[in-house]
């Protein structure tokens, strides 16, 4: 896919971070935009930034963990723009902790947004994009966490591993059915985003009965360390937007890091190849 002028791009998680960077990149290329997020204030800021490029921009509050919410987003996009050419299932959240201590609501929240948010996006948009019978592209945001495993983030890792596997299956299915849609999976490394502050958009349904998020002490340490690392050495989200744009143009599936996260990934692959026990190989950040 090489033509972007006047195409329609849908981006979830567009209120900040990678989602906002994607929206700005597509707007600069002349795309019309449907932007979605739980953070309404941030979404309006992204609208203001992207409208400066002179393109039509619509925003919608959307909880991607709910199929009906994503269905409504798709209806609004196709009714408002007449078509969808690029779909970025990008919304993501993170919470940490020991696997046996993490509350089940934390598992449900991270799987609901990170994994089922992608599933819902594909189910709501892809059938209609296929019927258009025009070149298009689906971008699913996973993570380098989809290719590695680290302690204290089991729910996050499993949610992103699922996105990668699901995206690979989607790629094969679109190929064997001779669809004109391409697929890419974005696997960011450490990026300076607001994901360490995901609690700001946690729905009430994923909180405890007293309204408090179910966060363990180990989880607080993980999120704090992540926020510190992002502030010190996280890449600007625009780097990810550039990678995605290039991958769409090249019809390239894997969008991977090339730093120590890639080394950690290769170590894990070698563990699997040799059948040895998992190596603790944290990336240097």
Is residue 78 a contact partner of residue 100, using CB atoms and an 8 Å limit? no
Closest of 191, 31, 202, 12 to residue 117, by C-alpha: 12
Active site residue 156: yes
Q: Classify burial at 185, counting beta carbons within 10 Å of its beta carbon; exposed 0-12, middle 13-18, buried 19 or more.
A: buried
Q: Give the three-class secondary structure for 261.
A: helix
Out of 107, 156, 171, 206, the active site residue is: 156
Instruction: Kindly report the number of other CB atoms within 10 A of residue 277's CB atom.
Output: 7
Q: How are strands ordered across the β-sheet holding 8-12?
A: 57-61, 32-37, 8-12, 86-89, 136-141, 181-186, 254-255
Residue 90 CA to residue 120 CA, distance in Å, equals 12
Alpha helices in 211-259 (DSSP H): 217-233, 237-250
What are the catalytic residues? Answer: 156
């Amino acid at each position: 896919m090489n033509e972007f002028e006047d195409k329609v791009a849908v981006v979830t998680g567009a209120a900040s971070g990678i989602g906002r960077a994607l929206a700005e990149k597509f707007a600069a290329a002349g795309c019309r935009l449907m932007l979605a997020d739980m953070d309404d204030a941030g979404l309006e800021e992204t609208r203001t930034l992207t409208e400066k490029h002179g393109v039509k921009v619509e925003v919608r509050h959307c909880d991607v963990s709910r199929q009906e919410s994503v269905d409504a987003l798709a209806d609004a996009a196709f009714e408002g723009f007449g078509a969808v050419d690029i779909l970025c299932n990008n919304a993501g959240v993170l919470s940490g902790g020991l696997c046996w201590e993490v509350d089940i609501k934390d598992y449900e929240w991270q799987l609901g947004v990170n994994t089922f948010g992608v599933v819902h996006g594909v189910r709501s948009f892809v059938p209609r994009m296929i019927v258009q019978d025009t070149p298009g592209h689906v971008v699913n945001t996973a993570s380098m966490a989809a290719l590695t495993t680290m302690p204290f983030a089991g729910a996050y890792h499993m949610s992103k591993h699922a996105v990668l596997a699901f995206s690979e299956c989607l790629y094969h299915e679109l190929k064997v059915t001779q669809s004109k849609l391409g697929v890419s999976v974005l696997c960011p490394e450490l990026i300076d985003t607001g994901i360490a502050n995901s609690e700001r958009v946690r729905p009430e349904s994923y909180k405890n009965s007293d309204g408090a998020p179910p966060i363990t002490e180990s989880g607080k340490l993980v999120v704090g360390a992540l926020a510190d690392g992002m502030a010190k050495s996280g890449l600007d989200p625009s780097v990810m937007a550039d990678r995605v744009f290039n991958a769409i143009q090249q019809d390239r599936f894997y969008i991977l890091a090339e730093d120590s996260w890639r080394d950690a990934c290769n170590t894990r692959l070698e563990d699997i190849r040799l059948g040895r026990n998992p190596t603790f190989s944290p990336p240097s950040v």
